Amino acid sequence: MSSLFLSTGAWQSFWREYVSRVCRVFRRSNVSKNPSSKCRLSNNLCVPNDEGRWFCKKCRMKRCLDLGMTPDNIQYDRDLFSTSEQFLQSRVKRKITDTIPMSMEVCLGQPHFIFLLDRDQVNTQRTWVDMTDLIINSQKIMFQNPHYVDKNLNQLEKLTLGYQEVRKLQKSEMSEVRVITKEQTCKMWEREFEMAARWLKYCDEFRELSQELQTDFLKCMWSLWSRIERLATTAEMRAKSEIKNRQYVISHDNYIDFNEVKVDLKWMTNCPAEHLAFFFDPLSGWFSESLVDTLIELSPTDIEITYLLFQLCFQMTAQLKGGEVQKLTDKLEDILADNLHQYYISNNIPRYTLRLTKLLNINNQFKRQLFIRKERFAIGVIFDVFKIKFSHPEMFNFSC
């Protein structure tokens, strides 16, 4: 029975060792990189308050040593206080795991950083798309002299005339496309690239650039131009009840129903559709219901749509290219802003700030959607999701 009890000396030794292990004050004072070497008051005045708290670390540490505590008994990793090695390691792990989104697991059902495909499903053959002939043909269009009925038009009016010339090809009665195939996609690229070229030739300042710069500019901005133009056309035709909700104009003579259309991506990737849900949605980036609704509500004129096209296409291309393109954009921005002001004044719209703000908000909303889509698309490129290769990949900087 006596073996269950400790002698007084043994009990005191046990208590000192136990307190040394669990006393937070002692442990933290011991492991501190800059322990206090001098009492903040004086040794005879520095005493704990009624709650047992000391005024300085020096005297608090001395009290622990007087009680028989020793650093040898300290268990540094007993709990996760901020100076322990285990705490620092755990904090690093938490930072890594907290910054990894759960999208990979949710969309793919696979671990982080791993994208697996059955070896039998992987086809090393690539789809090659040669855009050379399209570029050459569009150069011929872009370098043609535009025809102005009224030679006194300002620059914004000239660009608006070019926009209207392109829109003349639009049909009010169109056929529905149920499946977007490789051939359908290539036809859309061809039409959109040529439409952007036809519009650019109406910009006098742009025509002063070298042929090489003009071509580089066109290759960057064509997809931006076509997206806004198609959204504006969709909004206009919905407002006239020529098409229904969730239907989008994809060309001068075709439209799609978002709820019915299918997209054939076998020529573009070997991955099943469920794997592409996060990386690449071929429709949502092009056809935004919120943008169409905003355009319907605002009901912009051709002049305003043209200014929106300039803001989007020229500014984003200038950010990418810089140099002469940036100088041209800065120059045109002042000119077109003055032209737009004159338009509002001449049409008796003196307080147009709110309308202009809504117009530019469309621009910002489009950019936000584009950047989100571009970031996700870039992840798909890293994992080699797509098997398509282009002769001029710079043409698809903003086409993801």
Could you read off the pLDDT of 248-257 as tens digits, one per residue?
999 999 999 9
| Total domains, the chain | 2
Above 60 in pLDDT, residue 100? no
Q: Does one domain contain both 68 and 163?
A: no
Query: What span, in angstroms and rounded, lies between the C-alpha atoms of 196 and 63?
Result: 82
What is the tens place of the pLDDT at every residue in 103-132?
544 454 444 444 444 444 444 578 888 899
Domain contains 120: no
**CATH code at position 180:** 1.10.565.10
Domain limit, last residue, from 72, 87, 112: 72
In a domain, 121, yes or no: no
The phi and psi torsions of 132 (rounded to 5 degrees) equal: -60, -50
Residue 178: the pLDDT is 93
Residues 68 and 146 in one domain: no
Q: Helix 211-239 vs helix 289-298: angle between axes, to the nearest 10 degrees?
A: 80
Share of the chain above pLDDT 90, in %: 37
Q: pLDDT tens-digit profile of 18-61?
A: 554 456 655 665 554 455 566 766 656 677 776 666 667 777 77
* AA identity, residue 180: I
Given this model, what pLDDT does residue 378 score? 82
Q: Is residue 122 domain-resident?
A: no
Q: Are residues 351 and 239 in the same domain?
A: yes
* Same domain assignment for residues 149 and 286: yes
217: pLDDT strictly greater than 90: yes
Q: For 132-162, how does the pLDDT look when each residue is reduced to its tens digit (9 = 90+)?
A: 999 999 999 988 888 877 778 999 999 999 9
> Is residue 62 in a domain?
yes
Highest-confidence range of 207-211, 232-236, 359-363, by mean pLDDT? 232-236
pLDDT tens digit string along 325-364?
999 999 999 999 999 999 999 999 877 888 989 988 999 8
Shared domain for 141 and 281, answered yes or no, is yes
Q: Do residues 29 and 140 both lie within one domain? A: no
For residue 370, pLDDT over 90 is answered with no
Region 214-224 average pLDDT: 94
Same domain, residue pair 284 and 379: yes
Least confident of 13-17, 259-263, 395-399: 13-17
Asked whether residue 142 is assigned to any structural domain, the reply reads: yes
Q: What is the DSSP string of 332-367?
A: HHHHHHHHHHHHHHHTT----HHHHHHHHHHHHHHH
Percent residues over pLDDT 70 in the chain? 71
Could you tell me if 154 and 55 lie in one domain? no
Check whether residue 136 and residue 46 sit in a common domain.
no
96 in any annotated domain: no
What range does the domain containing 353 cover?
127-396
Both 52 and 132 in one domain: the answer is: no
214 pLDDT more than 90: yes
For residue 391, the Cα-to-chain-centroid distance in whole angstroms is 26
Given this model, what pLDDT does residue 85 score? 53
Q: Judge whether 110 lies within some domain.
A: no
**66 and 141 housed in the same domain:** no
Please tell me whether residue 83 adopts helix, strand or coil conformation. coil
Q: What is the pLDDT of residue 284?
A: 61
Name the CA dihedral angle for 265, 268, 272, 277, rounded to a multiple of 10 degrees. -80
Domain C-terminal end among 25, 52, 72: 72
Q: Which long-range contacts (CB under 8 A, 24 or more apart) does 169-176 make?
A: 169/252, 170/233, 170/249, 170/252, 171/252, 171/253, 172/237, 172/242, 174/243, 174/249, 174/252, 174/253, 174/254, 174/255, 175/253, 175/254, 175/255, 176/254, 176/255, 176/256, 176/257, 176/260
